[in-house]
Amino acid sequence: MIISRTPLRVSFCGGGTDIDAFSHNEPSGGRVVSIAIDRYVYVTINARFDDSIRVSYSSTESAGSIDEVKHDLVREAMRLTGISSGVEVTTIADIPGRGTGLGSSSSVTVGLLNAMHTFSGHNPSKEQLAEEACRIEIEALGAPIGRQDQYAASFGGANSITFGSEGVRTSPIPLSEGIREEISSQFSLVYTGLTRSASRVLAEAPEDPEDRLSRLRKIRLQADEAARLLESGDMQSLGELLSVAWLAKRGTSASVTNPQIDELYDKVMKAGASGAKRLGAGAGGFLLGHGHDGLRDRLISDLGPEKRLIPVGVDLMGSTILHGNGQ
C-alpha cells in the first residue's frame, strides 16, 4: 500500500493572476504569494486481488474499467500514470469538500499523482507533480482555474510563484522558526459555512472586463508587496494587506462575495482583526484573518462555536509519501 500526504494552501495575495488568460498576456505575468498549511489530503492506493477498480471518497465506486470511473481526478491520474486496473484508491481530507478556498481539488490531484507514480515504481519530482496536475485539471478536464494551487501543494513551504507564457517558476521564501510561530499565532482561518465551486465562479463572464483587468493588475502589484513583507517577517503589514487585497478581489466578479460573507468579514474586523480576506475564487469556504492577542477568543465569543477557527500552521514538506515504496 502507498499513502501520500499533500498539504492545502493559503494565498496572501495574487489570486486570479495565475490564470493563463491574464498571465500569458501581461508583460509582468502573474504572481501569487502563498504558504502550504498543516492540513492535508491523504491518498492511498493498493493492489486488488482481481482486475477491478474501487474508489472511495465521499462516495464509493466499483468499476470494471478506467472509463467507468466517475471521479474525474482519479480517472485522469490513472490514465496519466499508466494504471488501468486492479487497484483500490481512497482519498481522505482533514478539511473535506471542494469550494473551501484552500486549493483542495489540486491537493487531491497532486496527492493522487504522487501515490500512483510511487505505486508504479517511479519517483516524480515536485515540478513534475505540479505540471501534471495542471495538465489534468486545466487541459484534460477543462477547468477554468489558475496554476497556483498545484505548485503550492507539491512544493510546500512559503513560495512566490510567478506565471507567464514561458511557464511557472516557484521561488521558496525562507521562514525562520520564529516567523512560522508568528504566522501560526496571528493568522486564523474562519469557516464561512458555505461552499461554492471556484470553477463556476471563474467561468462566469465579468460584468466589466476592463475593470476586472485593472483590478487584477493591482492584485499583481500587491503580490510583490506581500512577498517583500513575508520575506522581512512584517506580519502586521502583511495582515493589513489582506483587506486591501480583498477590496480589489471582490470587484473582479459579482459572485466573489455575498451578504453572508460580507457580514462575517465585518464581524472579524470588528473583533479586532488588522485585516481579512476570503480565500479562493468560490463564494464560500474560509476567511483568512490576522490579529494579535485575544482575537481568536473574541471571534469564538462573537461568532459562536459553529464558525470553526483554525490556526494557520506552515507545512514545509509539500506532497510526500508516508508509507510504501512502490512495485
For the chain, give every domain's residue range.
2-174, 177-311
CA nearest to 29, candidates 220, 225, 219, 209: 220
**CATH topology for 177-311?**
Alpha-Beta Plaits (3.30.70)
- CA 194 to chain centroid: 16
Over residues 188-205, mean pLDDT: 66
C-beta separation of 187 from 175 below 8 A: no
What's the grid cell of residue 299?
Answer: 471571534
Tell me the three cell numbers of residue 273: 482583526
Angle (CA) 185-126-93 rounded to 5° is 55
User: pLDDT of 8-63, one tens digit each?
Assistant: 999 999 999 999 999 999 999 999 999 999 999 999 999 999 999 999 999 999 99
The radius of gyration of the chain from alpha carbons, rounded to an integer in Å, stands at 19
For 230, 245, 266, the CA distances from 277, given in Å and listed in that order, are 17, 7, 11
Alpha helices by DSSP H, the chain: 20-23, 72-81, 104-119, 126-134, 148-155, 177-186, 198-203, 209-232, 235-249, 259-270, 295-303
Give the DSSP per-residue string, 192-235: -S----HHHHHHSPPS-HHHHHHHHHHHHHHHHHHHHHHHHT-H
User: 327: pLDDT confidence band, cut at 50, 70 and 90?
Assistant: low
User: Higher confidence at residue 262 or residue 254?
Assistant: 262
Please determine, looking at this structure, whether the domain spanning 2-174 carries the CATH number 3.20.20.370. no
Average pLDDT, the chain: 92
208-233: average pLDDT: 94
Query: Within a 13 Å sphere around the CA of 137, how many CA atoms are in the beta-carbon half?
Result: 27
**Distance between CA 4 and CA 27 in Å, rounded?**
38
pLDDT mean over 208-221: 91
Place 97 in a pLDDT band, splitting at 50, 70 and 90: confident
149-179 pLDDT, tens digit each: 999 999 999 999 999 999 999 999 999 999 9
Q: Is 4 exposed, middle or buried (0-12, 13-18, 19+ CB in 10 A)?
A: buried
Residue with cell 478536464: 141
